[in-house]
Amino acid sequence: MRIASPELIKDLVSKNERIDSRKMLEYRKISGGINPISKAEGSCYLSIGETKVLVGIKFGLMKPYPDTPDEGGMMVSLNYNPVVWKDLPPNMDIEVSRVLDRSIRESKMIDLKEFCITPEEQAFQIFIDCYILNYDGNLLDALNLAAVKALLNMKMPKLENNKIVISDRKINLRSIPVIVTISSINNKYVVDLNNLEEKAADFSVSISYLDEKTICAMQKTGTGGIPMKEMQKIFEIGAEKQKELRRVFK
């Protein structure tokens, strides 16, 4: 079991070293597979190092919301065993699910109008259910990759005899959002923090990219401030790393 204080982590990073011998901008091994859940309409298992997540997608029926009468709905939920997150701040699960929802929603990757059956009366709702199987840092990047990969392998629903069935037509995805979380430890920028490193971070910025020049969502955590002159550097790091992460979809 790794045991290290935030002070040790900061000292290592100040020397351009990390507790697991990675480079500052190096991700751990990413692996996984699609459709491990046979009863889901789309699913993906994915791991980044020892952080392991599972995302399953199902459809339901809903009445369209009054402000979007010709659109279906989407809901992101996060599920976990309390033992998995015993050392993390309360309500972090709510924050993570909201950022993931915002990334998918603001990217416009799903045209919710295609999920409307009858305007103002009936529509399909997409449930994106996320499960944390093991936690060792960088949860948001892992969940985003798994959710998008599950959506990429999902097919359109249709209504037959008032029952939801799945057609042979794939969902038309208009963009592919990729979240990159960049953290600062002792004024050094680091990606893919493990759980120990997260405790030493001054701040982290999670940026959702549609491509290297287009950002659709962003979230900052931590108490440390970010000088404006540093934001451009952070954006440039994220733009490069998002290209690397997109290889997961090939």
Q: What is the pLDDT of residue 247?
A: 95
Ranges of H-type helices in 92-227: 92-107, 139-152, 195-198
Model pTM score? 0.93
In this prediction, residue 177 carries a pLDDT of 97
In order of their start, the domains of the chain are 6-249 (3.30.230.70)
In 10 A of CB 162, how many CB atoms?
Answer: 7
How many Å apart are CA 239 and CA 221, to the nearest integer? Answer: 19
152-203 pLDDT per residue, tens: 999 999 999 989 999 999 888 999 999 999 999 999 999 999 999 999 999 9
> What is the structure's pLDDT at 1?
44
Q: Say what percent of the chain tops pLDDT 90.
A: 80
pLDDT for 227: 84
